Amino acid sequence: MGTVVDDAASVEFHAFFDRHYAELSRLAHLLTGEADAADDLAADALLALWHRWDRVRAADHPVAYARGVVANLARSRIRGAVRERRRIALFWSHREERTENPDVAGVVDVQEALRRLPFRKRACVVLRHAFDLSEKDTALALGVSVGTVKSQTSKGMAELQRLLGTRRPERKVHAAMARGGAESGGRNR
């Protein structure tokens, strides 16, 4: 059960919402160029404002504060879209390699071993050894530091060596992905 102060804050916030939602949505649309995302960004901004409503309503210019939140959310969305485009470009920039008569058993073994790795280790191993990306490009694709790529790749390769019982698991990973990765059609993720 809310108090009188909570009820007053709620009424005040709802009035603020009704007055400014359309403007904040229009701002988000103009900043991102995405009509579909604009309403979501405005709603996310207003939700963030609600969680800080005591601070927002005490501000000299609550609408300016709200616009700042929308601008920050829009910037984050744009940055995320740019990172995603870069990741896609990295993946598509490498041509597919296919080999006649793949070693199906080897491919299955490597895919099974890769599935047993935690996602980040698996992603680092696959990008480094199957896609031949540099540490920097792998870090960019995953949104992590180069140091993280180095450590996760090293740990992942050690786990693969243990799982596959081989001294050179990177050769098996590269060969399996070059031979069988395209044939699997991405079914085993």
pTM summary value: 0.46
pLDDT of residue 185: 38
Virtual CA dihedral for 23, 28, 29, 32, nearest 10 degrees? 160
How far is it, in rounded angstroms, from Cα 65 to Cα 95?
A: 48
The token pair at 160 is 């693969």
pLDDT of residue 46: 93
How far is it, in rounded angstroms, from Cα 20 to Cα 7?
A: 20
pLDDT of residue 182: 38
* Cβ pair 99, 176 in contact under 8 A: no
| Number of continuous H segments (helices) and E segments (strands) in the chain | 10, 0
pLDDT of residue 154: 93
Count how many residues are written for the chain.
Answer: 189
pLDDT of residue 165: 80
pLDDT of residue 102: 62
Tell me the three state secondary structure of residue 34.
coil
pLDDT of residue 138: 86
50-61 as b/e: b if 16+ CB within 10 A: eeebeebeeeee
The token pair at 125 is 């191993």
pLDDT of residue 64: 82
pLDDT of residue 18: 93
pLDDT of residue 101: 61
Which residues in the chain land under pLDDT 70?
1-5, 90-104, 106, 166-189
pLDDT of residue 145: 93
